[in-house]
Amino acid sequence: DGGITQSPKYLFRKEGQNVTLSCEQNLNHDAMYWYRQDPGQGLRLIYYSQIVNDFQKGDIAEGYSVSREKKESFPLTVTSAQKNPTAFYLCASSIGRAANQPQHFGDGTRLSIL
Amino acid sequence: GQQVMQIPQYQHVQEGEDFTTYCNSSTTLSNIQWYKQRPGGHPVFLIQLVKSGEVKKQKRLTFQFGEAKKNSSLHITATQTTDVGTYFCAVLSGYALNFGKGTSLLVTP
């Protein structure tokens, strides 16, 4: 089945540690996105990528980094500079590069601080 | 980019009652998308509205885009417990989507 796979489902981070969240899609979608969701909040855009080897900052990019070396992969690194990383992280993709296409989401990764 | 305000933030209904959530913008929207997120799950795309005054139906769900393309609504007729979740609207913001904060629906049997 085609879809988006996020791993791990749960992740714990120690103080001062960088962690990387994986996002892989086999939908052959051009665009990929990372969102952060806090309890009772909507989705806030961290980074997005419309094409391989190119990505753009979203509304809350500080303390995060991404790469897009392959079309199907868009990993997110939560760096130690992100002081409040506890949240639910969602990866999404959409066909084409236009933002007005429906987005397909992975099951998410819940990140907590030890 | 375009921003939207979604109301209400929460809604608690008895099963069988109707439910409506609204998405409002101060600027004209090019289009609007609606998503549903079940508790513990991920958002799932429901529908996209593009035309002024557009009305689309999916079984008990009715989606409407305002004539001025500044607001939209999602109406559920005769809610069921399977309708529980958070409903988000999303609008175009540059090259990405801007999501509203959502309306959380709780349905009591």
Give the tens place of pLDDT for each residue, A43-95: 999 999 999 999 999 999 999 999 999 999 999 999 998 889 999 999 999 99
Mean pLDDT of chain B: 95
Spell out which residues of chain A touch residue B43, defining contact as CB-CB under 8 Å.
Answer: 43, 90, 92, 103, 105
Q: Whole-angstrom Cα distance, residue A6 to residue A16? A: 23
Spell out which residues of chain A touch residue B44, defining contact as CB-CB under 8 Å.
Answer: 105
Inspect the interface and report whether the beta carbons of B101 and A42 lie closer than 8 Å.
Answer: yes
Quickly state the pLDDT bin for B96 (edges 50, 70, 90): confident
Q: Whole-angstrom Cα distance, residue A89 to residue B16? A: 34
Task: State the smallest CA–CA distance between residue A45 and chain B in angstroms.
Answer: 8
Inspect the interface and report whether the beta carbons of B42 and A105 lie closer than 8 Å.
Answer: yes
Quickly state the pLDDT bin for B1 (edges 50, 70, 90): low
User: A2-59 pLDDT, tens per residue?
Assistant: 699 999 999 998 888 999 999 999 999 999 999 999 987 889 999 999 999 999 999 9
- Inform me whether the C-beta atom of residue B31 falls under 8 Å from chain A C-beta atoms: yes
Compare CB distances from A90 to B6, B42, B95 and report the shortest one's residue.
B42
Strand, helix or coil for residue B81: helix
Compare CB distances from A103 to B45, B95, B101 and report the shortest one's residue.
B45
